[in-house]
Amino acid sequence: MSSHPLGKTTLRLPLEGFTVKVLSVVGARPQFVKLGPVAQEFAAANQSGGERIEHVIVHTGQHYDPWLSDVFFADLGIPAPDVHLGVGSGSHGVQTGAMLSALDAVLDEHRPDWTLVYGDTNSTLAAALAAVKMHLPIAHLEAGLRSFNRRMPEEHNRVLTDHAADLLLVPTKVAMDHLANEGLADRSVLVGDVMTDVCYLVRDAVADQPVVLPGGVDPDAPYLLATIHRPDNTDTQDRLSAILAALQALPVPVVLLAHPRLVAKADAFGMSLNGGNVHQTRPLAYPQMVRAVQAAAGVITDSGGLQKEAYLLRTPCTTIRPETEWVETLDGGWNILDNELSALANVAVRPAPRGEQPTPYGDGHAAAAVRHTLLTWGR
């Protein structure tokens, strides 16, 4: 692809025998989940002839624990990264800056037609900044999400990335509206949500498998699945202690899938995550997570992706945040926001809403739309 895509709004048919080079940059757990269906779609479509995508995968190393990284590559059929930057942890500036400086040489070597960035992490922003400075076209997958909460690092990352990008691959109509309000409609394409693709595929693949809960919790009795990792919930002692007390007092076992940030902060504050009805365990691999969410009485979380997975798997969710980017999950009561922890005891275990559930996150074919758009945008 030779022309810069900024400002082009029409889709054209791909050319036979054409190859587009896409360089995906990922680094954190939710990005591996999104990369899974995209990488599989690129590889499968290449087998059937016609236009091709040459796919280069760059792992920044933001997440390095095997349970946050390697298991996702293995379970979701993602090829090993072509490049691993090994950046690791650090303050936002140190972590993002280390990625930024390492990415220059990688982008210079590959000169991709598209630098494809995912979601809202520091890895997303670093790759977008590196590419825009080198005048290389950027596509942002999961563009247009907004919490309107400027305290969240993810909100800075997604707003800045959307405005740096040339092509915005958008999961929902609400996200399309946000982008239009910011003057970005002419580079936005509604492709659906690739997390729906992977969630449905894995749900069907594990439907007959037993639910296995680490920590000795009986999967045949009602249980809750919980994750807490956002800085606003983990990084001050009073807040973390209030959340743990609320979880420990719930009436059924709570399987707490502890993110390294949560473990580190609890250690630093001298707190135990176990106690009352809480059973702390390591994070689950994606297929086990999907199965465990499906069978749970409810989910309690501050994760973005897990709110949506609970919705797709028809499990009630309670979100420990003042707002959500995935506002569609709130319709019909599938998801309830309880940042003050005042409702948790009453709503954590509640029946699933009855009746038809709308499908705001697409039908499970978003990765094909992503591929088509990358092949045809601006040509």
- Segment interacting with ligand UD1 (CB under 6 A) among 115-123, 240-248, 271-279, 309-317: 115-123
68 is a site residue for ligand UD1 (CB under 6 A): yes
Q: Which is nearer to ligand UD1, 154 or 162 (CB)?
A: 154
Binding flags for ligand UD1, 216-255, as an x/- string (CB under 6 A): -------------x--------------------------
Among 43, 174, 252, 264, binds ligand UD1 (CB under 6 A): 264
Q: How many CA atoms lie within 13 A of 222 on its CB side?
A: 12
Bridge partners, 169 (sequence order): 141, 189
261 is a site residue for ligand UD1 (CB under 6 A): yes
- List the structure tokens of 170: 């958008």
Contact 221, 253 (CB under 8 A): yes
Sheet holding 317-319, edge to edge: 278-281, 254-257, 224-227, 298-301, 317-319, 335-337
120 is a site residue for ligand UD1 (CB under 6 A): yes
Measuring CA to CA, which residue among 128, 101, 104 is closest to residue 114?
128
Among 14, 64, 235, 343, binds ligand UD1 (CB under 6 A): 64
153 is a site residue for ligand UD1 (CB under 6 A): yes
Measuring CA to CA, which residue among 104, 130, 105, 102 is closest to residue 116?
130
- Segment interacting with ligand UD1 (CB under 6 A) among 79-87, 98-106, 195-203, 258-266: 258-266
Residue 321 and residue 302: Cα distance in Å, rounded?
A: 6
Among 4, 13, 15, 65, binds ligand UD1 (CB under 6 A): 65
| Residues that contact ligand UD1, how many (by CB under 6 A) | 19
Contact 185, 191 (CB under 8 A): no
Marked catalytic residue, from 229, 259, 279, 372: 229
167 is a site residue for ligand UD1 (CB under 6 A): no
Q: Which is nearer to ligand UD1, 242 or 264 (CB)?
A: 264
Q: How many CA atoms lie within 13 A of 99 on its CB side?
A: 30
- Segment interacting with ligand UD1 (CB under 6 A) among 56-64, 129-137, 336-344, 348-356: 56-64
Among 40, 60, 62, 188, binds ligand UD1 (CB under 6 A): 62
Helical H runs in 165-236?
173-181, 194-206, 231-234
| b/e map 310-340, b = 16+ CB within 10 Å | bbbbebbbbbbbeebbbbbbbeeebbbbbee
Q: Which residues are catalytic?
A: 229
Which positions touch ligand UD1 (CB under 6 A)?
A: 28-30, 62-65, 68, 89, 120-122, 153-154, 229, 259-261, 264
